[in-house]
């Protein structure tokens, strides 16, 4: 079994569709199908069940694919060690960032890294926590910036900063004149949220326990900027993190209000695989984030974190 065939196995196991797996692997569907058949014949077992509703992974196939992922990760690690042995700060760094952090953190971070690690350009993957977790464990990205809670076997996590949540209402809203409000003062029927799958949605619902039931249709936005526009249009209110509420995003159409103390907040962390060959690069990114001018509370560096 070749490394290319291993990659095809993983792609088909995750996509459950020959066409999508082939597109993801940048190969024709007949070539991918032939490679999968060759592997099954070589191993003498069926790894996938083909049916009208798509592709299913057999129990044996699931075990084989799990082992293949480990082989691919170790292969990538061998290449990384050889390539980065002389300097872990040289070469592209594949960084994953959750949707609700990326637009507000990446512009200043990229600029900071041009100074702190000029030979290490970022290849950014913006995605949900679940997808970034999968990609991190599969070796498809080198590290991920996420919000807690997050924990996975074999993954190192270091805190970067804490940021508070704030309420955003239309300028003419009944709450617009308040300086601080209790979560219980917010109207369930007015709340605008991100879709299921975004950790910020869960964090907001955890903060405002009165909003246990899902919002009615039309009260969701696919990004924080969509939610901000919906509020500006008078469609409701929302809760955003402090990094999304800097002066750059100020508008007379909106009013931003603090929660009463203790203000709800989230902790943002950076995560990477234990034993990763370029851990010094991760520490350099963490140090760069902590040095940014953001409306957050930077957290102390862990012992052993690299700085300039």
* Digit-coded pLDDT (tens) for 143-155: 999 998 888 888 9
β-sheet bridge partners, residue 181: 259
Residue-wise pLDDT for 57-88, tens only, equals 999 999 999 999 999 888 887 776 666 566 78
**Packed helices 29-43 and 3-15: angle between N→C axes, nearest 10 degrees:** 110
185 alpha-carbon distance from chain centroid: 31
Looking from the CA of 247 toward its CB, the CA atoms found within 13 Å total: 2
Does residue 212 have a pLDDT over 50? no
Does residue 289 contact residue 271 with C-beta atoms inside 8 Å? no
Encode pLDDT of 258-289 as tens digits.
Answer: 988 888 888 999 999 998 888 999 999 999 99
CA 272 to chain centre: 12
């Amino acid at each position: 079994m070749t490394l290319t065939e291993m990659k095809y196995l993983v792609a088909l196991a995750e996509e459950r569709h020959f066409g999508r797996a082939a597109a993801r692997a940048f190969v024709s569907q007949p070539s991918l199908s032939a490679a999968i058949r060759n592997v099954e014949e070589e191993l003498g077992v069926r790894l996938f069940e083909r049916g009208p509703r798509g592709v299913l992974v057999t129990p044996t196939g699931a075990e084989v694919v799990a082992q293949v992922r480990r082989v691919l990760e170790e292969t990538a690690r061998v290449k990384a060690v050889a390539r980065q042995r002389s300097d872990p700060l040289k070469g592209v760094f594949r960084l994953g960032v959750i949707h609700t952090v990326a637009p507000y953190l990446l512009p200043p971070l990229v600029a900071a890294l041009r100074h702190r690690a000029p030979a290490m350009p970022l290849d950014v993957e913006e995605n949900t926590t679940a997808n970034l977790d999968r990609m991190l464990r599969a070796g498809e990205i080198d590290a991920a910036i996420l919000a807690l809670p997050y924990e996975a076997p074999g993954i190192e996590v270091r805190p970067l900063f804490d940021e508070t949540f704030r309420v955003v209402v239309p300028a003419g809203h009944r709450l617009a004149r308040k300086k601080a409000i209790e979560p219980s003062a917010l109207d369930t029927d007015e709340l605008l949220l991100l879709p299921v799958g975004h950790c910020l949605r869960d964090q907001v619902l955890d903060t405002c326990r009165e909003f246990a039931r899902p919002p009615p249709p039309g009260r969701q936005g696919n990004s924080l900027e969509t939610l901000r526009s919906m509020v500006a249009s008078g469609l409701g209110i929302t809760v955003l993190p402090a990094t999304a509420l800097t002066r750059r995003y100020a508008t007379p159409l909106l009013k931003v209000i603090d929660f009463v103390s203790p203000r709800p907040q989230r902790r943002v962390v950076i995560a990477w695989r234990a034993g990763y060959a370029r851990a010094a690069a991760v520490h350099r990114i963490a140090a760069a984030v902590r040095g940014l001018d953001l409306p957050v509370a930077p957290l102390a560096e862990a012992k052993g974190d690299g700085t300039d």
